[in-house]
Amino acid sequence: MTTTTRILGKAIRRREDPALVTGRGKYTDDLRLPNMVYAAILRSPYAHARIKSIDTSKAKALDGVVAVFTGEDVAASGIPGVVPVGWLLPNLKTPAHPILAQGKVRHVGEAVAVVIANDRYTAHDALELIEVEYEPLPAVADPYKAVQPGAPAVHDEAPDNVAFDWEIGDKAATDAAFAQAAHVVSLDLRNNRLAPNAMETRGALADFDPANEKLTLYMTSQNPHIHRLLMSLASLGLPEHKIRVIAPEVGGGFGSKIHHYPEEAIISWASMQLGRPVKWQATRSEAFMTDAHGRDHVTHAELAIDADGKVIGLRVETYANLGAYLSTFAPAVPTYLYGTLLSGEYEIPNIYAHVVGVFTHTTPVDAYRGAGRPEATFVVERLMALGARKIGMDPAEFRRRNFIPPDKFPYQTPVALQYDSGNYEGALKKALELVDYENLRAEQAKAREQGRYIGIGFSCYIEACGLAPSAVVGSLGAQAGQWESAVVRVHPTGKVTVYSGSSAHGQGHKTTFAQIAAEILGVNYEDVEIVEGDTDTVQYGWGTYGSRSAAVGGSAIAVSAQKVVEKGKKIAAHLLEAAEDDIEFDAGAYFVKGAPDKSVTIQDVALQAYLAHNLPPGIEPALEATTFYDPANFVYPFGTHIAVVEVDTDTGQVKLLRYVAVDDVGNVINPMIVEGQIHGGIAQGVGQALFEGVVYDENANLLTGSLMDYALPKASQLPSYELDRTVTPCPHNPLGVKGVGEAGTIASTAAVVNAVMDALAPFGIEHIDPPLTAEKVWRAIQAAQGNG
Ligand code: MCN
């Protein structure tokens, strides 16, 4: 790789932001097409009910209503009409998920009918005129209760509500390790269910052109090509080349806009029926009911420790709530993105995990920032905190003693993954220095003497991201490739357009990807444009999730740019009448070795490549290159996060005093963007630890269906983060980068909960399930004092 250091690694400001902060960003809901009509969706008020009849006549008669459709209409139209699952496991139950309910509803918010009207208000008014006769049926929301005998079944195909039963690791060896252990700690926990809450709710604008039989679908997508593929294969039955999916500004996703939902198919199908553009934008309440939720595990976990304080075994049983239907990648989240991460940063010789994926009458659960890896980190890091407490060792020292040492990489865990590189002690050491650990412990002791309860919590996390390589994820069940594509096109004037199969929705690719291309091509950063998010413009690509875009998409750009440089070298050699081997390339210019005044710029070369009057034999005109990059492994960022909290034991209120994070994401393309990603990630993980939680009642009614009931963290509740990093480059991609998009979220929940438990240690409190609301903490203190 050419090594000029001009722009790669620089903290330049995001080029995306001027448009966004001046209101010039174009979101799906900003788009208006001629003859456009608006959709509103009638949703089930019941978690489980038989639909006895639907009468749409009054709604249809309302002035301004164009059409009303139900599941029967979809079935009668002859399209497949289902939402597919994109990940298969052995013996996975895959009950059909119709785009509009047929016969039964299985969660509050399931789509039952759609109204199309001349304006949005009329469409919503008409919903109230649809008469649906439901026969309510018993429902279950809790994954553990759902697998008990007699629980109401969500699907006939899975009478016990078990979608899959999966295990990883060596059970017998792990049981044997526990039998020999000097100490065993065990933990029952509930990883709270989260609602994703992207800034822009999901939306779709479908424009079917009957003359060309082509559908153009603008939608809030993290991966337009995946959406096109699934729409073609399973929902609409339209040929793939007759569908164009465009992701305008997406307004955040955090995983929730990866999946194929019923709504984009309903809206597209409605446009096909009417031959008119149809737009739908979810209300915030619809978002709470229908955006795929995250987490929701019920887990029993145990750690076996020998007499020297070495961890010798880890055993986990998890009931993972999948909701009423399998969302696109739902089966992967509590299995391959969870069970395989249970080694954490530690050399644990024996690990066994058993995961039961459970249907319940709730919103489907799928990837939410971190997806599986925060759940794994939470289990491992809570156990490490409890283990240290049990054996009376400092929690930092207990972790240090059990880290995989730097000379053991690549490290093969007992749960399938091979970590590529790491220096866990380096990150811990830096974090301890940053937080001034010894003094902090002294302050904590002093505060306790004064009746103040300060706690210090650690999270030493590892994640597998940069989702790829295709062969591996395919062998595990993905119905998707996991490479990424890039076309680097140098125009005759030397300006550059890069087409990337990644699809940003807040991550700043237009900035960082331009930095990569500009660096390697040696052109001005301003001369590089990045294009993503349109299936008719951009070659096939798998999109943005699993913190894969820098490691996989960025690498594809790097390889394509390098191919351009190499082609340019042949042309330059010809122009300079020198041998190709004698040509050197640096900072955008080709030189003859030893004769630095004999040079041509890459812009000169580009023009000649297009004019094509004077090209060396065998060289095609034009200057561009395409790469489909499929890496050798995942990437493995890691780090140490330390939270410092104070608990008001009179009220149960938790205050986050300090937050220190030392992350290692390999080489950094743009430090400012990396810090921004970590900031946002930490806020989301703190949200899970202290504030957020989706709550259903006994009948699976959603109680937290608005921002009045579901508490997102506010800036005023968060401290200024203290960030630093170590750099352990990824050994197997050309940029040496690891992902950063989820790191903060993966680490922070465990750090904060560990800190609160540390603060409450004098009360003998070992665990409280997040969110650690004042009420829960207060009750736990009361119970510990015998007042419960
Ligand atoms: N980057 C870098 N140096 C590195 C690694 C990354 O400069 N060593 C830059 C990248 O070039 C990119 C950004 O950091 O601009 C994030 O890169 P990466 O970690 O590859 O993650 P992705 O771009 O694939 O984004 C996905 C990730 C995920 S999985 C979730 S969830 C998430 C996240 O990104 N959702 C987000 N960050 C988000 N940020 C915003 N604003 N909105 C969301 O919905």
From the CB of 608, is ligand 1 less than 6 Å away? Answer: no
Q: Determine the distance separating the centroid of ligand 1 and the alpha carbon of 741, expressed in angstroms.
A: 4
Strands (E), 446-565: 453-462, 484-490, 496-500, 528-531
Q: Whose CA is nearest to atom 23 of ligand 1?
A: 549
In this prediction, residue 4 carries a pLDDT of: 45
β pairing state of 297-305 and 311-323: antiparallel
Q: Determine the distance separating the centroid of ligand 1 and the alpha carbon of 254, expressed in angstroms.
A: 10
Greatest Cα pair distance in the chain = 90
Q: Whose CA is nearest to atom 2 of ligand 1?
A: 669
Q: Whose CA is nearest to atom 30 of ligand 1?
A: 254
Q: Determine the distance separating the centroid of ligand 1 and the alpha carbon of 228, expressed in angstroms.
A: 23
Closest by Cα among 463, 370, 459, 369 to 644? 459
From the CB of 635, is ligand 1 less than 6 Å away? Answer: no
CA distances from 218 to 114, 204, 242, 249 (A): 19, 6, 14, 10
From the CB of 256, is ligand 1 less than 6 Å away? Answer: no
Q: Whose CA is nearest to atom 41 of ligand 1?
A: 506
Q: For residue 85, what is the DSSP state?
A: P
Best residue for ligand 1 mutational test, from 7, 525, 740 (most atoms within 8 Å of Cβ): 740
ipTM score above 0.95: yes
Total residue count of the chain as it appears in this document: 788
Q: Whose CA is nearest to atom 32 of ligand 1?
A: 254
- Cβ(201)–Cβ(282) below 8 Å: yes
Q: Whose CA is nearest to atom 10 of ligand 1?
A: 550
Q: Whose CA is nearest to atom 5 of ligand 1?
A: 739
Reported as type and span, the H/E element at residue 664 is strand 654-664
User: Which residues fall within 8 angstroms of residue 94, CB to CB, at 6 or more apart?
Assistant: 85, 88, 157, 326
Closest by Cα among 495, 502, 419, 500 to 463? 419
Q: Determine the distance separating the centroid of ligand 1 and the alpha carbon of 465, expressed in angstroms.
A: 11
User: Which residues fall within 8 angstroms of residue 552, CB to CB, at 6 or more apart?
Assistant: 466, 467, 468, 482, 483, 484, 502, 629, 631, 733
From the CB of 543, is ligand 1 less than 6 Å away? Answer: no
In this prediction, residue 596 carries a pLDDT of: 84
**Rounded to 5 degrees, what are φ and ψ at 288?**
-60, -35
Q: Angle 671-686/743-759 helices, nearest 10 degrees?
A: 50
AA identity, residue 720: S
| HSE of 514, CA atoms in CB hemisphere, 13 A | 22
Tokens 């009911």, residue located: 289
Best residue for ligand 1 mutational test, from 220, 258, 465, 547 (most atoms within 8 Å of Cβ): 547
- Cβ(576)–Cβ(583) below 8 Å: yes
Instruction: Give the number of the atom of ligand 1 that is nearest the alpha carbon of residue 670.
Output: 7
The strand pairing partners of 104, in sequence order, are: 50
| HSE of 217, CA atoms in CB hemisphere, 13 A | 36
In this prediction, residue 788 carries a pLDDT of: 64
Best residue for ligand 1 mutational test, from 256, 507, 525, 725 (most atoms within 8 Å of Cβ): 507
Instruction: Give the number of the atom of ligand 1 that is nearest the alpha carbon of residue 743.
Output: 19
Q: Whose CA is nearest to atom 35 of ligand 1?
A: 254
Q: Determine the distance separating the centroid of ligand 1 and the alpha carbon of 252, expressed in angstroms.
A: 11
Q: Determine the distance separating the centroid of ligand 1 and the alpha carbon of 277, expressed in angstroms.
A: 33
Residue 291 to residue 195: CA distance in whole angstroms: 7
From the CB of 368, is ligand 1 less than 6 Å away? Answer: no
In this prediction, residue 634 carries a pLDDT of: 96
In this prediction, residue 1 carries a pLDDT of: 40
From the CB of 674, is ligand 1 less than 6 Å away? Answer: yes
Domains and CATH numbers, the chain: 17-23+483-629 (3.30.365.10), 31-137+199-252+257-290 (3.90.1170.50), 297-467+633-784 (3.30.365.10)
From the CB of 89, is ligand 1 less than 6 Å away? Answer: no
Q: Determine the distance separating the centroid of ligand 1 and the alpha carbon of 654, expressed in angstroms.
A: 30
β pairing state of 278-281 and 203-209: antiparallel
From the CB of 548, is ligand 1 less than 6 Å away? Answer: yes
Helix H, strand E, coil C: the string for 285-348 is HHHHHHCCEECCEEEEEEEEECCCCCEEEEEEEEEEEEECCCCCCHHHCCCCCCHHHCCCCECC
From the CB of 252, is ligand 1 less than 6 Å away? Answer: yes
Strands (E), 170-235: 183-191, 203-209, 214-219
From the CB of 219, is ligand 1 less than 6 Å away? Answer: no
User: Which residues fall within 8 angstroms of residue 672, CB to CB, at 6 or more apart?
Assistant: 11, 12, 13, 14
Q: Determine the distance separating the centroid of ligand 1 and the alpha carbon of 549, expressed in angstroms.
A: 7
Residue 719 to residue 659: CA distance in whole angstroms: 7
Helix, strand, coil percent values for the chain (each to nearest 5): 35, 25, 40
Q: Determine the distance separating the centroid of ligand 1 and the alpha carbon of 635, expressed in angstroms.
A: 14
* Mean pLDDT for back-to-back runs of 10 residues, the chain (788 residues): 68 97 96 98 98 98 98 96 93 97 98 98 98 98 98 98 98 98 98 97 98 98 98 94 98 97 98 98 98 98 98 98 97 97 98 98 98 98 98 98 97 96 98 98 98 98 94 90 97 98 98 98 98 98 98 98 98 97 97 93 98 96 98 97 98 98 98 98 98 97 97 96 98 98 98 98 98 98 90
Instruction: Give the number of the atom of ligand 1 that is nearest the alpha carbon of residue 554.
Output: 11
